[in-house]
């Protein structure tokens, strides 16, 4: 090991006004020094930085998510983030299963044509034919399958880990972990604290990062939500809408909402007359929870309940525009903080379309809905009924709340998110390309 610190070739070139040829032996020497003292990867990162500093190429960025191959709010977050950076960076999207640009366009209305897609299959999950790559399967007695992604991360200037998976050790010079929620406590293969920056999606998530991981995230960026229609004055129908993934564990509480609507239908049919309850959301194939809901609805055809599974974005937009009330009970009767909504993107989408939200009083939803001002927060099915009936009976209140809801929801607009992302990554680029602040 060398006792002295590696030479800052970039800085010495600047200060001594050396031409590139004179500096070449120093570069080689610095690479050697770093390689010995900090490992080969650090030396490699040094060269990657040199290429960017000397304008030999655009900085490269990779974004990884083990769930890019299906629709999800977290995935939309990561992809919207990189869509704002397509001009500044040479971007690669790393997925574990086949996915196409067209899918991203269909699912999230995002044009990512300037980004490359690289699929890295993980043998551990391939052998098990797993569609959903659950990091919870990986314990200390299993070899970390995500090391393949770690190795790949070392080929980029910036590596962004967008997945709820802190088992990927970042090798790039700058690394960013987007934490949608700290699911696991620090245990085997925990590397969240090894990232240069940690971004979180809500104050609720930030609070749990501090509680579980014992550090404060560097940046708080609310998810981008851009569901507001350019057209105004679209006619509203007597629809109650729920938009959430049909999780096999039932964490989004669709069953409870169906039960509540059916109870209202049974106990007070006059007040529900003309109202329809629509549940939209994505689902994996062969979902037993969804099958059970389908069964319940089929057994009660007169209840005016409809299921819309994996609908395209255009249909979803229409549903938002036409519906009046939005129900979201994710978190109800859950004790585990991870099963409570970490933010609640669909609630904001509904509010942007002048829907009045009635949501569970917990998690990130508390940051979105101000009780009585732009919607209602409830802690039980009884309260859900109470406020729904209030809205059924008071059209003036619906008008007032829907207007306030739209105004509040505009604070989460995609343009604002993109602006914040650009500021953040500009700072990263500045740090990366400035010889003055060079640190290996």
Partner 1 sequence: MDERAKEIRRLKETLDKKIAEIHDLEELVNKDIDRTFPSPVEEFSEKELTTYIRECLSSIDIDLEFKPDIRAITSHRKTLGKPIVFLKRAFLETTFRSIDSFLDKQIHFNRQISALCRALLLRTSHSRERMKQIEERISGCEENLAILKNKLENLRSGPEPLKNRPTVRPLK
- Give the interface with partner 1 as residue ranges (CB under 8 A): 20-21, 23-24, 27-28, 31, 35, 37-44, 47-48, 50-51, 54, 56, 147, 150-151, 154, 169, 171, 185-191, 194, 211-212, 260, 263-264, 267-268, 271, 333, 335-339, 380-383, 385-386, 389-390, 393
Minimum CB–partner distance for residue 87 and partner 1 (Å): 23
**End-to-end alpha-carbon separation of the chain, Å?**
16
Nearer of residues 219 and 440 to partner 1, judged by Cβ: 440
**What is the DSSP code (8-state) at residue 413?**
B
Q: Whole-angstrom Cα distance, residue 180 to residue 343?
A: 8
The nearer residue to partner 1, 40 or 119, going by C-beta atoms, is 40
> Nearest approach, Cβ of 83 to partner 1 (angstroms)?
29
Residue 251 vs 283, nearer CB to partner 1: 251
Of the pair 52, 130, the CB lying nearest partner 1 is at: 52
Residue 41 or 229: which CB sits closer to partner 1? 41
Least distance from partner 1 to the Cβ atom of residue 110, Å? 32
Please report how close the Cβ of residue 335 comes to partner 1 at its closest, in angstroms: 5
Q: What does the alpha-carbon distance between residue 167 and residue 211 come to, in Å, rounded to a whole number?
A: 19
Contact 203, 296 (CB under 8 A): no
Shortest spacing between CB 339 and partner 1, in angstroms:
8
Provide the edge-to-edge strand list for the sheet that holds 239-243.
305-309, 276-281, 239-243, 325-328, 356-360, 376-378
Residue 185 CB neighbour total at 10 angstroms: 10
Contact 191, 168 (CB under 8 A): yes
Q: How many C-beta atoms lie closer than 10 Å to residue 188's C-beta?
A: 12
Q: Residue 289 Cβ, how far from partner 1 at the closest point, in Å? A: 18
Q: Which is nearer to partner 1, 213 or 417 (CB)?
A: 213
Quote the least distance from Cβ 195 to partner 1, whole Å.
13
When the beta carbons of 111 and 259 are compared against partner 1, the nearer one is 259
Residue pair 6/33 in contact (Cβ under 8 Å)? The answer is yes
Strand partners of residue 328: 359
d(CA 421, CA 413) in angstroms, rounded, equals 13
CB of 320 to partner 1, least distance (A): 27
The DSSP 8-state label assigned to residue 201 in this structure reads: S
**Whole-number CA gyration radius for the chain:** 25
DSSP 153: H
Decide: 333 and 312 in contact? Cβ < 8 Å. no
Which residue's CB is nearer to partner 1, number 85 or number 356? 356
Tokens, residue 86:
């397509």
The CA distance from 384 to 367, in Å, is 19
Of the candidates 328, 384, 258, 293, the one whose C-alpha atom is nearest the C-alpha of residue 73 is 328
Cα 10 from chain centroid (whole Å): 37
Residue placing its CB nearer to partner 1 in the complex, 212 or 308? 212
Tell the smallest beta-carbon distance from residue 188 to partner 1 (Å). 7
């Amino acid at each position: 090991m060398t006792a002295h610190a590696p030479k800052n070739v970039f800085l010495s070139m600047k200060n001594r006004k050396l031409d590139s040829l004179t500096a070449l032996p120093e570069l080689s020497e610095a690479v050697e020094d770093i390689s010995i003292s900090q490992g080969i990867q650090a030396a490699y990162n040094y060269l990657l930085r040199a290429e960017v500093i000397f304008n030999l190429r655009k900085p490269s960025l990779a974004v990884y998510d083990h769930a890019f191959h299906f629709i999800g709010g977290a995935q939309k977050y990561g992809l919207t983030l990189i869509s704002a950076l397509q001009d500044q960076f040479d971007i690669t999207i790393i997925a574990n299963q086949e996915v196409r640009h067209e899918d991203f366009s269909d699912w999230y209305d995002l044009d990512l044509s300037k980004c490359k897609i690289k699929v890295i299959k993980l043998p551990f999950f391939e052998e098990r034919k797993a569609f959903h790559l659950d990091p919870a399967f990986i314990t200390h007695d299993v070899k970390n399958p995500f090391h393949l992604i770690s190795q790949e991360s070392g080929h980029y200037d910036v590596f962004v880990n967008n997945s709820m998976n802190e088992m990927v050790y970042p090798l790039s010079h700058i690394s960013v972990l987007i934490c949608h929620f700290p699911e696991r406590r620090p245990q085997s293969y925990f590397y969240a604290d090894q990232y240069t920056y940690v971004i979180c999606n809500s104050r609720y998530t930030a609070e749990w990062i501090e509680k579980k991981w014992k550090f404060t995230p560097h940046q708080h960026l609310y998810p981008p939500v851009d569901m507001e229609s350019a057209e105004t004055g679209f006619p509203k129908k007597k629809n109650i809408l729920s938009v959430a993934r049909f999780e096999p564990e039932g964490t989004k509480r669709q069953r409870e909402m169906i039960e509540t609507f059916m109870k209202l239908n049974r106990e007070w049919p006059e007040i529900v007359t003309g109202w329809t309850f629509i549940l939209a959301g994505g689902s994996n194939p062969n979902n037993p929870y969804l099958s059970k809901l389908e069964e319940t609805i089929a057994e009660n055809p007169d209840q005016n309940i409809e299921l819309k599974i994996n609908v395209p974005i255009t249909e979803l937009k229409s549903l938002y525009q036409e519906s009046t009330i939005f129900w979201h009970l994710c978190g109800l009767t859950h004790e585990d903080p991870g099963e409570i909504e970490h933010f609640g993107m669909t609630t904001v989408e509904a509010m942007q379309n002048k829907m009045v939200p009635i949501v569970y009083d917990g998690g990130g939803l508390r940051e979105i809905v101000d009780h009585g001002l732009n919607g209602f927060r409830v802690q039980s099915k009884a309260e859900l009924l109470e406020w729904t009936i209030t809205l059924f009976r008071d059209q003036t209140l619906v008008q007032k709340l829907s207007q306030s809801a739209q105004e509040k929801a505009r604070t989460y607009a995609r343009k604002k998110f993109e602006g914040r992302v650009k500021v953040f990554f500009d700072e990263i680029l500045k740090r990366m390309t400035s010889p003055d602040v060079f640190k290996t």
